[in-house]
Every structure is written in C-alpha cells, then in structure tokens.
Amino acid sequence: MAQPSVAPTATAEISSIPLRQIAPWALFFGLVALLVLFFVSTDQGATSVISGTAIHEWVHDGRHLLGYPCH
C-alpha cells in the first residue's frame, strides 16, 4: 500500500469573540440566573414577592435538588 502523497491543506480557523461583545450578554444572563435563584431559594420563605403557592410549586423540585429547606 502506498502512502498518500498529498497532505491535507484545509485548516480550520477558530475566531475569537471579543469581550466587549460577550459582556452585555454575560451580565444579562447573570442577572436572569440570580432572579431564578432568588425564586428557587428565597421566595415563599421569609419573603414573598407574589402571594400564593404558585411560585413555590413551580420551583419545588429545583428547591429540593439544590438542598434548600422546604418542608
């Protein structure tokens, strides 16, 4: 068997994403994550933004998954 004499010439370029483009999205998703974490961990506890048990029931499994005291 003969070895192929032509070496592959195609190269893949990985473009970098500037920090200035990522920073607003990172801040936005960070704030959304904090809001979700607040509703999972704190709401329906000592404080309650929305009255009723809808939020509690909605995030109940997440609360147990993350180990927050529930019932």
Helices and strands, counts by H and E, the chain: 3, 0
65 lies in the binding site for Zn ion (CB under 5 A): no
70 lies in the binding site for Zn ion (CB under 5 A): yes
Options 4, 9, 46, 71; binder of Zn ion; rule CB under 5 A: 71
- Distance between CA atoms of 58 and 17, rounded to whole angstroms? 36
Say how many residues touch Zn ion, by CB under 5 A.
2
Position closest to Zn ion via CB: 70
- Distance between CA atoms of 12 and 23, rounded to whole angstroms? 26
Q: List residues binding Zn ion (CB under 5 A).
A: 70-71
